[in-house]
Amino acid sequence: MNERILSKRLRQIANYLPEKANFADIGSDHAYLPCFVCSQDKNATAIAGEINEGPYRSAERNVAALHLTDQVKVIKGDGLAVLNNQDVDQVVIAGMGGTLIRTILMQGKDKLTNVKRIIAQPNVDAYAVREWFYNNNYHLIAEEIIKEDGHIYEILIADKEVTTPIYDEKQLRASLLFGPYLLKENSVVFQEKWESEKNKLERVVKQMHQAKEIDYEKIKQFQYEIELIEEVLNHD
């Protein structure tokens, strides 16, 4: 397993795992991430959790083919339930929607007692994950936004029990929506993402105005979001 095989997205995630990582990769699919990390670092150990039979088998095959069975345990199960009697220090949940990631964290909260770092890569709805972190004593310490094969990905890294900043309501909304680090960095990819989100929301609002029963409350929410995005896009 080498760097050429691993996507830029998964390599960025691997960068935020420490040496001698002891982590779970939930929804591991082919177990590419655990195989990469454990091939590079003989002191690292991982659990590859998978709910579906096909990806679970594929993970097992890859781990065996790379002679990593001593370091990577492949376990079939739903979300953090695979951590039943296993202690890990870091959890990675990548390549799913933000609301599914939030559900996995919510349902498996009791498995997180000793987890110092969570790395999440929501494909959409990063807001849901940031909000869960904010309400559950995990504090963002870094964020990445990258573009690969035409897709834009956000990676959120949160550590347990470091002080959470105090925001007013608008700051909190903006911070959860855009991400405090991504907002500050204001990269070209970030601008591209929010330009596209704004266009999507404007199209939705236009369609909502044409509906038989107009949901003014929802339109107001979307319009507020569009205003927040415009502020960010017009900010130097």
- Classify each residue of 108-126 as buried b or exposed e, where b means 16 or more C-beta atoms within 10 Å of its C-beta: beebbeebbbbbbbbbebb
- Span of 20-28, 146-154, 165-173, 193-201 interacting with ligand SAM by CB under 6 A: 20-28
List Cβ neighbours of 108 (8 Å cut-off, separation of 6 or more).
Answer: 79, 80, 81, 83
- Span of 22-30, 34-42, 161-169, 170-178 interacting with ligand SAM by CB under 6 A: 22-30
Q: State how far the Cα of 142 lies from the Cα of 41, in Å rounded to an integer.
A: 23
How many residues belong to the site for ligand SAM (CB under 6 A)?
A: 16
Output 26 or 44, the one with its CB closest to ligand SAM: 26
Say whether residue 78 binds ligand SAM (CB under 6 A). yes
Q: Under rule CB under 6 A, which residues in 32-51 are in contact with ligand SAM?
A: 49-51
Shortest distance, position 49 Cβ to ligand SAM, whole Å: 5
Q: State how far the Cα of 236 lies from the Cα of 232, in Å rounded to an integer.
A: 8
Shortest distance, position 47 Cβ to ligand SAM, whole Å: 11
Under a CB-based contact definition with an 8 Å cutoff, are residues 93 and 105 in contact? yes
List Cβ neighbours of 90 (8 Å cut-off, separation of 6 or more).
Answer: 17, 18, 21, 22, 23, 24, 115, 116, 117, 118, 119
Contact map string, positions 92 to 111, toward ligand SAM, x by CB under 6 A? --xxx-------x-------
Shortest distance, position 110 Cβ to ligand SAM, whole Å: 16
Q: Under rule CB under 6 A, which residues in 123-142 are in contact with ligand SAM?
A: none
Output 27 or 179, the one with its CB closest to ligand SAM: 27
List Cβ neighbours of 28 (8 Å cut-off, separation of 6 or more).
Answer: 34, 48, 49, 50, 55, 59, 74
Shortest distance, position 9 Cβ to ligand SAM, whole Å: 7
Q: State how far the Cα of 39 lies from the Cα of 35, in Å rounded to an integer.
A: 6
Say whether residue 79 binds ligand SAM (CB under 6 A). yes
Site residues, ligand SAM (CB under 6 A): 10, 26-29, 49-52, 55, 78-79, 94-96, 104
